[in-house]
Structure 1
Amino acid sequence: MTIKLSAANLDKLPKNVGKPSYDRSALSGGILHFGLGNFHRAHQAVYLDDLFNAGLDHDWALVGAGVFDFEKPGRDRLKDQDWLTTVVEQDAGHKQARVTGAMIDFIEPGDTDALIAKLADPAIRIVSTTITEGGYFIDPATQKFNPQHPDIVADGKNPDRPKTVFGLMLAGLKSRRADGTPPFTVMCCDNIPHNGKVTADAVVGLARLSDPEFADWIVRNVAFPNAMVDRITPATTDRERKALKDDFGVEDNWPVFCEPFRQWVLEDRFPAGRPALERVGVQFVEDVSPFELMKIRILNGGHAVIAYPAGLMDIHFVHEAMQNDLVRRFLSKIENEEIIPTVPPVPGTDIDDYFALIERRFSNPTIGDTVRRLCLDGSNRQPKFIIPTIADRLKAGKSIDGLALESALWCRYCYGTTDSGAITEPNDPNWERMNATAKNAKNDPAAWLAMEDIYGAVGRSDVFARGFAEALGSLWKDGTQATLANYLSRS
């Protein structure tokens, strides 16, 4: 017998499933969040649930927000179960389920008037985001806000009827200024270097297109703290829904399965106030940059290192990739020889211990994280997670052989077939371009590096171009396994 997740059924849940100990009817919204996907519901929402369970800050509940039609089915799934989510933490020796109740509403995506009204509500003091790395209108080559993106241009011309997250934020801030309501803090929770600054650049940059004076007001009055967030959270499929029913007797439309590990390092800049998240494990620091750089280069960069060779060898799950001797040694060699040396010291952290933890997390056999998920959206992720490391290595005159091979593996993956000849389904928002360029690069490697908006100066480096061409040629001539073996045989 299974219990359908709902507020009415909370007391009927099996005893081995945790549930909120607080009165959800007494919660009130203090945070409006854009991007109610799995990561947010396994991360920020869990920290808030912990806080509410401790009897603290019940006026900081979550209100969901979205702007795209594809977000509506997710909203419907959550509405059907009164905004509750089952979070299942698991690794080789641990499996635990809990129902979280930190969300109390989710505004209909596309309901612009309702979204702006909620953004203007004085009770909302933080607006947070997990809208993916590609959601910030960043020029990949310069890593700066692109005011010429069509969606940004459209919002700049029609600020009263915005279509983007940042246009909606501006409309809410403008209403608050007119009403004399203090501005909310904007808290980015995406894996982007200097994510607070990146978000500020998007908000201010869009404002300058229609109201420069208002843009200056935002610079003076709105806080955008930087953050480092971390938890491996794969997508939900019928596999996870069935596992939840079989293992815990709970029927959830949209459960989240994740690893036990989680981390949140946050700059303490919240003029409008904030929940006491330090009481539940959030680390508040003056400068998040060292933590952020460590995580983005070692973990996110490490994901890219294992993703493409595993994808080309038809490996499905991430833990299976880590069980492959070539892939695991490839990760270790690149991390220790090329990535970790570019990471400055981090307060209170041993970098070698951190990488050992990353290896254990990647090897977790129970999460079911897929190689395809790691391969997703390379056109947005490579310029943030890999190419800056290559640039630093080139500037220092250091070897980039491993990172050149990683880039060649990405190119080979985008060709659209694995080594076995299996078809790779489109796996990038810019797949058509990436696929066409990868096909040109098979005989002309320079075509791949000529993507100036992705590679910038790195693509113009003769040293990198030689390493990339050699690696890509080997992948086509000898295949992924032999190419990895050859690389690993070098001292």
Structure 2
Amino acid sequence: MPRILHFGLGAFHRAHQAAFTQDAGGWQIESVSMRNPALSNALNAAGGRWHLVERAAEGPRVRQMTVIDRAHCLATDPAGTLARMADPEVQVVTATVTEKGYGFHPTTRTIDVDHPSITPDLANPTAPKGLVGALVEGLRLRHAAGHSGLTVISCDNLTGNGHLLAGLAGAFARLRDPALADWIARTCTFPDSMVDRITPASSDATFAAVRDATGQDDPLAVETEPFRQWVIGNRFAGPRPAWEKAGALLVDDVAPYEVMKLRMLNGSHSLIACLGAVAGLGAVRDVMAVPAFRTLVRRHMQAAADTLPTIPGFDPATYAADLLRRFENPSIRHLCLQIAKDGSQKLPPRIFAPAAEAILQGKTADAFALVTAVWIRFLQGRDDTGGPIAPDDPLAQALMLAASSDVAAVAQALGLSDRLPFSSGDWRGQVSGHLASLRRMGAMAFAEALT
């Protein structure tokens, strides 16, 4: 049976790509935990079975998942894991390792040889720990075995994620062996893809839903919303699952869909998450229950929609209304702190890029200045009641120090001082103004004053 090897054995993978693949039929997945063997061991012990709880407003639907029949851990068995890429049954590789797992310069989008996910793998390329090093070593093994190239699909929230990963893998391979880099470029494809499915962290309520529906305890259960979306560039090196039978959309150009989702959904999510954390609210649904916060979110969606390219058949107002309903779903407890993590990686495409475009076009970028101010207020490490906030970010230490100073210091910590929107004094002034109001008034009064 043809197989997918997936890097990043987390909840989103098991709620999204695994569900699409199971519903498409005919393929199995081997999933790879990057660091911790606990999950891969547990999944193997369970025979690759777990339950997916789809939480609709009217109640949960529980289904058993069987599409993953083997799990590996890259950290504890790199040789055995990557040998799977030399098996001709494996035709597709997918990945969900989050933005910080790629190891690239955020301004140039080129490989960062000093990045912690890149440097060790360049020093020890046959026992890699990061995604890019693992891909290149696995492809080296496949080439040596005399097999054809693979389709490699990034499923992380990065613009042009396939093009980005192709560039990083090619650069890494060229540092090892130029001939290998040439073979990868000639025989492998890296389609862009856009993914969407809200997947909160599993909780006692998740496990209780499975127990109520099946009479079984399942510590591997994952919960998600009913909605799901997957847009994939129609560029494959060989066989692939019939994902379109499960509702995936295969298109010539993914970029407009990526921009739509990053700016309207993900950008709004960043606003909601930081607002909630600063106001002392735990989950997205709690933030959306505050009328003034909901109004700010709706306004942000409109500002983001104004920066979008034309997408045939796409109505931004309808999409925004659908997003608001999804965010308000009372059955989904999506934690603000879960969404707010890694803001230094997420805000450049979600917030800073549309702000820069708006400035270049002579339009107002105040909506994006507002989100930036709320994020900086979040980085200051205390909510409006004085309770602690611990930002989870690869640049947390530098950003928290900068946030106690001013907007320019944050731009410097991000390495974006000389780039739009931060190079615009007017825009920095807008951010500073909103930040001062947030500090003085608190998030709730700040939102009410704006609405």
TM-score for the superposition, normalised by structure 2: 0.95
Deviates more, 1:119-128 or 1:132-141: 132-141
Residue in 2 aligned with 1:453? 415
CA distance in 1, matches of 2:239, 2:2: 13
CA distance in 1, matches of 2:217, 2:205: 13
Q: 1:317 to 1:273 in 2, by over 3 A?
A: same
CA distance in 1, matches of 2:117, 2:277: 33
CA distance in 2, matches of 1:223, 1:62: 19
Residue in 2 aligned with 1:226? 192
Give yes or no for contact 1:88–1:257 (8 Å, CA) kept in 2: yes
- Picking from 386, 390, 397, the partner of 1:432 is 397
Alpha-carbon distance, 1:62 to partner: 0.2
CA distance in 1, matches of 2:299, 2:263: 14
Alpha-carbon distance, 1:468 to partner: 1.0
SS at match of 1:126: strand
SS at match of 1:368: coil
Give, as a single letter, the amino acid of the residue that structure 2 aligns with 1:43. Answer: H
CA distance in 2, matches of 1:148, 1:212: 20
Trace 1:131-150 onto structure 2 (pairs within 5 A).
131-150=97-116
Q: 1:194 to 1:144 in 2, by over 3 A?
A: same
Residue in 2 aligned with 1:352? 317
Residue in 2 aligned with 1:254? 220
SS at match of 1:89: strand
SS at match of 1:31: strand
Trace 1:285-364 onto structure 2 (pairs within 5 A).
285-336=251-302, 338-364=303-329
Give, as a single letter, the amino acid of the residue that structure 2 aligns with 1:31. Answer: I
Residue in 2 aligned with 1:13? none
- Picking from 428, 434, 437, the partner of 1:471 is 434
Alpha-carbon distance, 1:249 to partner: 2.4
CA distance in 1, matches of 2:264, 2:157: 12
Alpha-carbon distance, 1:317 to partner: 1.5
SS at match of 1:397: coil
Q: Which consecutive segments of 4 or more residues in structure 1 shift more than 4 A?
A: none
Alpha-carbon distance, 1:250 to partner: 2.6
Matched, 1:197 2:163: yes
CA distance in 1, matches of 2:247, 2:117: 38
Give, as a single letter, the amino acid of the residue that structure 2 aligns with 1:48. Answer: T
Q: What's the C-alpha RMSD, in Å, of the aligned pairs?
A: 1.7
Residue in 2 aligned with 1:51? 24
Alpha-carbon distance, 1:371 to partner: 1.3
Residue in 2 aligned with 1:392? 357
Q: 1:76 to 1:238 in 2, by over 3 A?
A: farther
CA distance in 2, matches of 1:231, 1:352: 20
Q: 1:225 to 1:367 in 2, by over 3 A?
A: same
Give yes or no for contact 1:342–1:389 (8 Å, CA) kept in 2: yes
Give yes or no for contact 2:344–2:393 (8 Å, CA) kept in 1: yes
Give yes or no for contact 1:170–1:203 (8 Å, CA) kept in 2: yes
Matched, 1:212 2:178: yes
Residue in 2 aligned with 1:485? 448
Give, as a single letter, the amino acid of the residue that structure 2 aligns with 1:273. Answer: P
Alpha-carbon distance, 1:454 to partner: 5.0
Give, as a single letter, the amino acid of the residue that structure 2 aligns with 1:51. Answer: A
SS at match of 2:63: strand
Alpha-carbon distance, 1:150 to partner: 4.2
Give yes or no for contact 2:41–2:71 (8 Å, CA) kept in 1: no
Matched, 1:172 2:134: no
- Picking from 1, 6, 15, the partner of 1:42 is 15
Deviates more, 1:407-416 or 1:200-209: 200-209
Matched, 1:368 2:341: no
Alpha-carbon distance, 1:424 to partner: 1.0
CA distance in 1, matches of 2:116, 2:309: 38
Alpha-carbon distance, 1:104 to partner: 0.6
Matched, 1:105 2:70: yes
Residue in 1 aligned with 2:153? 187
Give, as a single letter, the amino acid of the residue that structure 2 aligns with 1:387. Answer: F
Give, as a single letter, the amino acid of the residue that structure 2 aligns with 1:164. Answer: G
- Picking from 10, 19, 33, the partner of 2:6 is 33
CA distance in 1, matches of 2:227, 2:122: 41
Structure 1 residues not aligned, in runs of 5+: 1-27
TM-score for the superposition, normalised by structure 1: 0.88
Structure 2 residues not aligned, in runs of 5+: none
CA distance in 1, matches of 2:346, 2:280: 21
Matched, 1:162 2:113: no
SS at match of 1:82: coil
SS at match of 1:386: helix
SS at match of 1:250: coil
Residue by residue over 1:285-324, the C-alpha shift from the partner in whole angstroms, topping out at 9 and shown as x without a partner, is 1111111111111100110121211211111111111110
CA distance in 2, matches of 1:73, 1:384: 33
